[in-house]
Structure 1
Amino acid sequence: MSLSNPVITITNMLDLLLAPVLTGIFVALMAGPLGCFVVWRRLAYFGDALAHAALLGVALGLILSVSPQLAIVMSCVVLALLLSQVRQDSQLSADTWLGVLSHGSLAISIIAITVAGAGRVDLYGYLFGDLLAATYRDVILLGFCGLILAAYLIRYWDSLVCLCLNEDLAKVEGIAVERHKVILMIAIAFVTAMAMKLVGALLITALMIIPAASARMLSNGPGRMAVLAMSAALLALGAGMLASFHWDVPTGPSIVTAACLVFMFGKISAKVLSQK
């Protein structure tokens, strides 16, 4: 065996894994702070609705012969915009609308996938994630959108936190409440659509909620919680990917399992610290 073979193997591995790793890092960095807003505004079920809309996007992409990724993003954004409008309905609660839109989009997606031909769809990849399918195009797109999101959050952080604490107070302070609510929901929808490639439709919500929930138990302020949520998401990403490659198990479930372990560690740590 020539000495160059190990070098070639390492180079090939880097080429194979660099895009997935960078994709995962960008998703984790965006999911951390956005997950805090999901927790603060009690939008956990919104993630499930977006997951169902993402499946509808897969089906529509096949039927219309357009990029599935583009169709997924558009479906999630449309659902977010629709929900931001119907939440103002005084007759039905937000949870009711979430249930209607979530299960309605799931039912339509199943019908559409059947019509398009289930054999043409990698349902396992969409349901449970396929991180190795990430490309450098995804990295560039996520990096660009991550910079925009970071600039927006830094610029309007205080306003967004005030909005989450008390909408009436935010309106009195002159904050454009409805505009920020729509922007937040669109941002959550976009990250959810992109994270589908990482952990799959069934586990998308966990990537946002669990790191944020872990951070909440150990933080004493919104800013600290956002930083800890990003750290928890990155830790879960790294541990999950290592476990996936070491034991040859699915990456998405491994990442979410690692996030659950981080949550348990955070819960135990918070309890120990509270007793001091």
Structure 2
Amino acid sequence: MIDLLVLGWISGTLLSLATGFLGSFLIWKKMSYFTDTLSHASLLGIALSIHLKINPMYAVILTMVILTIMLMYIKYIYPYSIDILLNIISYTSLSLGLLISSLSQDSSMNIMHYLFGDFLMISFQDVITIGCGVCIILITILYYWKSFLLISIHSELAHIDGINVFKIQLILMLLIAFTVGLSIKFIGAFTATALFIVPAATARFYAKSPESMVIYAILLSIISITSGFILSVAYDFPSGPSVILCATILFFISIVFKRKNILR
């Protein structure tokens, strides 16, 4: 039991290194809706994995990557608001996932674990996979840091500066999709978005530069994961909602703290 708890905490801490970076980019680009789409669409990957009896993490990652590539290319030929396209993809994927899951006997309980997270499902092999995945994500982010930062702040300026905006946006979106896939066992598919957004949103209250915002987002994410982990163990709550509840509490505490400083 202790081994499973340690593996769960390690996996959550590793994921926070990726979500701290990527969540900050999502805040800067005002693209939280993109992760919402991925979260809903991940049910399709989960349902396929259960129906075909393959590793859900790999199935979700593959599904996320394919949908992201499709979305990025369709975005340039679709004449209307991107929000409409995201909603169509989101609920179509969700519907397909529900239809496929209905074909599998006794799949509802398994799907619930993946939708809301269960750290006890984390195996040593999962930790290795998450660790390797996070290393790839961090190396890619550091390599493209300036380009990611520039397209997040001003995409037109990035284009003038000679940056291939489409390529950089595609890489960034693929990293986010990859991270959502890695996080489904611990944080859950439906609550994964909040692990990107809430710590990064809280970090804005304290950050004075893009780099400091990322550092604060990572630290706040680790604090949320650790406190949520303790809450989950103590009261037998699902790990995903427990982590997000703790992250949200930190967010509102920061609002009150910031307001008091402004009034002084």
Task: Tell me if TM exceeds 0.5.
Answer: yes
SS for the counterpart of 2:76 is coil
**Is the 1:87–1:93 contact (alpha carbons within 8 Å) kept by the matching residues of 2?**
no
Deviations along 1:96-127, whole A, 9 cap, x unmatched?
A: 11000000000111111112334475122022
Match of residue 43 from structure 1: 31
What amino acid sits opposite 2:250 in the alignment? V
Please name the residue that 2:163 is paired with.
Answer: 175
CA–CA separation in structure 1 for the residues paired with 2:207 and 2:175: 24
TM-score by length of 2: 0.94
Give the Cα separation in 2 of the matches to 1:156 and 1:269: 34
Deviation at 1:138, TM superposition (A): 1.6
Match of 2:210 in 1: 222
Q: How many Å separate the matches in 1 of 2:163 and 2:107?
A: 49
Q: Output the CA distance in 1 between the equivalents of 2:107 and 2:177.
A: 27
Aligned partner of 1:205 in structure 2 is 193
Q: Which runs of 5+ in 2 are unaligned?
A: none
What pairs up with 1:3-22 in 2 under 5 angstroms?
A: 13=2, 15-22=3-10
Q: Secondary structure at the match of 1:201?
A: coil
Letter in 2 for 1:131: F
Letter in 2 for 1:229: A
**1:73-92 CA deviation, whole Å, 9 max, x = no partner?**
11111111111112213512
Offset, 1:16 = 2.3
TM-score (norm 1): 0.90
Equivalent residue of 1:197, what SS? coil
| Alignment of structure 1 residues 26-175 onto 2, 5 Å | 26-119=14-107, 122-175=110-163
Name stretches of at least 5 consecutive residues in structure 1 with no aligned partner. Answer: 1-11
**Count of paired positions:** 264
Q: Which stretch of structure 1 is more off in the superposition, 173-182 or 150-159?
A: 150-159
Is 1:191 the counterpart of 2:184? The answer is no
